[in-house]
Amino acid sequence: MQLPDEAISYEYQAALIPASEEWTPVAELRSRHFLNPVRLRDLGGRLIQIRSQVAAERDLQQVPPEMQPLDAAFMDFPQKLLDQQRRKNEDSILGRLLARATKLKEQSDRVVVLGIGGSYLGSRALFEALKSSYHNELPAKNRLEAPRIYFEGNNFDNDVMQELLDMLQENCVDPERREERWSVIIISKSGGTLETAVAYRVLHRDAVEYYGNRSERLKQLFVPITGPTSKLRDVVKAEGYADEDIFTIPDRIGGRYSVFTPAGLLPAAVMGLDVRALLQGAAAMTRRFLEEPFERNPVLQYAAVNFLMAEEMAKPIRVLSIWSKKLEALGMWHDQLLAESLGKQGRGPTPLTFVATRDLHSRGQQQQEGARDKFINNLVVRTPRTPPIMVQMADRNEDELNAISRKGYPDLTDAALRGTNQAYSEAARPTADLIVPTLSEHTMGQLMQMLMLATVVEGRLMGINPYGQPGVEAYKRNMKGLLKGEKDGKPG
């Protein structure tokens, strides 16, 4: 159980109509664009019903056709992995995963993670949040022997793929030297996603040329993570992989909900992250969701406030305003989570990631004075992991910074956040703050699980299925048909 100062929180009071506010033009605008606290209270009973429904969905053994797909197993999976490791130690999924991560770190200095969408966005979010922003440029000892990490298999950019191949060929000349060996983690639940499958074939061809066609290193350095049945599983088994060489994404966990399965955990372990702390944070958030009342339940709070803003206050643009550059990839992960889960049946909020203060100089004008179709959630890291960098006093003061000497970067960020929120409030632009105490494996576990759970709750409030992504299949079908010489995705 996390200590109170480790728990994330959602502070949404600034999005509510102020009590007993005297009439002014701005007050009138707030009454039209901020939430009425009564409406939020009225939703309380429905929220408890939805929580019970979502909790019950975890345990369904037989899923009725009208409820499919139902990928609800992600909720309990973190705790199940922890419990299984306590019982089986190295024979558990987590034990096997940690052992394989150790071997990859020992055997190679560069790891390419192949995947698209939920198969890579989660691990990239963890990498950027918790590792040095210049990780790949650091000497091995400063990386604590963790390999350099690269992400590919998420597009068809010819030049970018060639640049990756060139980099590997330039830096990896002698396969007998650990610092010149590279490895691949390929992640695809279905195994049929073309971007990832093509990238795997390209890199596997280069690996055959580098390590040798009969080299045992090919199986040692290429680790597949896929569904129980998939094209990828068929491919690697044909190449001689045993079942224990393949990591599995469980059937009832969809790609965008899979960050706490091997899809996210194996890359995280290779990076040198504490995967147990990630799982403990996620499991703690699930308990809060299931047990805590609305007043202490960030999942229910976040789902309710955002649902009402989108559905009743005509604010379909949902801005995740991130006050730490290290969480920009988390914003990309959240964009996919929200868009694929709730963008259905002609409905659903449109997610938009915004990095402050950087994007205040590009999109800030629109959010301050543009169309009133946006709700802003500030994602705030309260305490940096490193000591504050201070503004120094200088003999010359043409830049007029001496007035803020002895202030640190955290002070500047806090002033910018408070000043921005004040400006939005004065213009009747509602905001709320999602507070993360500091960036750690435990808080990232909480945060990502909270956002997944809140997305499911919001989907159920909307009356749509938050699982599955039927709209994505249309482009895949047409693309494959065109590549095979078919017209409009159909045989010509």
- Write the DSSP string, 376-397: EEEEEESS-SSPPPBPPP-S--
Q: Of 470, 465, 469, 345, which is closest to residue 72 (Cα–Cα)? A: 465
C-alpha neighbours within 13 Å on the C-beta side of residue 153: 31
Is 73 within 8 Å of 467 (Cβ atoms)? no
Residue 63's pLDDT is 87
Q: Give 417-420 contacts, CB < 8 A, sequence gap 24+.
A: 417/323, 417/356, 417/378, 417/380, 420/356, 420/360, 420/364
Output the CA torsion 481→486→490→491 (10° steps): -130
Residues 6+ apart with CB under 8 A from 398: none
CA–CA dist 168, 398 (Å, integer):
47
Residues annotated as catalytic (active site), given as ranges: 340, 361, 476
CA–CA dist 442, 130 (Å, integer):
11
CA–CA dist 189, 303 (Å, integer):
28
What kind and span of H or E run contains 48? helix 44-57
| Structure-token match 């990756």, residue found | 164
Is 103 within 8 Å of 145 (Cβ atoms)? no
Domain residue extents for the chain: 4-68+293-462, 75-273
Q: Of 322, 340, 323, 339, which is closest to residue 331 (Cα–Cα)? A: 322
CA–CA dist 30, 25 (Å, integer):
9
Q: What is the CA radius of gyration of the chain?
A: 24
Is 264 within 8 Å of 428 (Cβ atoms)? no
Q: What is the pLDDT along the chain (492 residues), one digit of tens a residue?
A: 444 458 999 999 999 999 888 999 999 999 999 999 999 999 999 999 999 999 999 988 888 888 999 999 999 999 999 999 999 999 999 999 999 999 999 999 999 999 999 989 999 999 999 999 999 999 999 999 999 999 999 999 999 999 999 999 999 999 999 999 999 999 999 898 999 999 999 999 999 999 999 999 999 999 999 999 999 999 999 999 999 999 999 999 999 999 999 999 999 999 999 999 999 999 999 999 999 999 999 999 999 999 999 999 999 999 999 999 999 999 999 999 999 999 999 999 999 999 999 999 999 999 999 999 999 999 999 999 999 999 999 999 999 999 999 999 999 999 999 999 999 999 999 999 999 999 999 999 999 999 999 999 999 999 999 999 888 777 778 888 888 887 555 554
| CATH number among 3.40.50.10490, 3.40.1190.20, 3.40.50.720, 2.60.40.420, domain 4-68+293-462 | 3.40.50.10490
Residue 1's pLDDT is 44
Residue 489's pLDDT is 53
Report the relative pairing of strands 9-11 and 182-188 from DSSP bridges.
unpaired
Q: What is the value of pTM for the model shown?
A: 0.95
Amino acid at 302: Y
Cα distance between the two ends of the chain:
60
* Paired residues of 378 in beta bridges: 321, 433
C-alpha neighbours within 13 Å on the C-beta side of residue 156: 6
The token duo for 440 is 């750690």
Report the relative pairing of strands 350-355 and 110-114 from DSSP bridges.
unpaired
Residue 165's pLDDT is 98
CA–CA dist 37, 90 (Å, integer):
51
- The packing angle between helices 44-57 and 275-291, to 10°, is 130
Residues 6+ apart with CB under 8 A from 363: 354
For domain 75-273, is the CATH number 3.40.50.300? no
Q: Of 241, 451, 425, 170, which is closest to residue 332 (Cα–Cα)? A: 451
Q: Of 119, 106, 144, 97, which is closest to residue 247 (Cα–Cα)? A: 97
Residue 5's pLDDT is 58
φ and ψ at residue 45, rounded to 5 degrees = -60, -40
CA–CA dist 281, 8 (Å, integer):
10
Is 333 within 8 Å of 122 (Cβ atoms)? yes
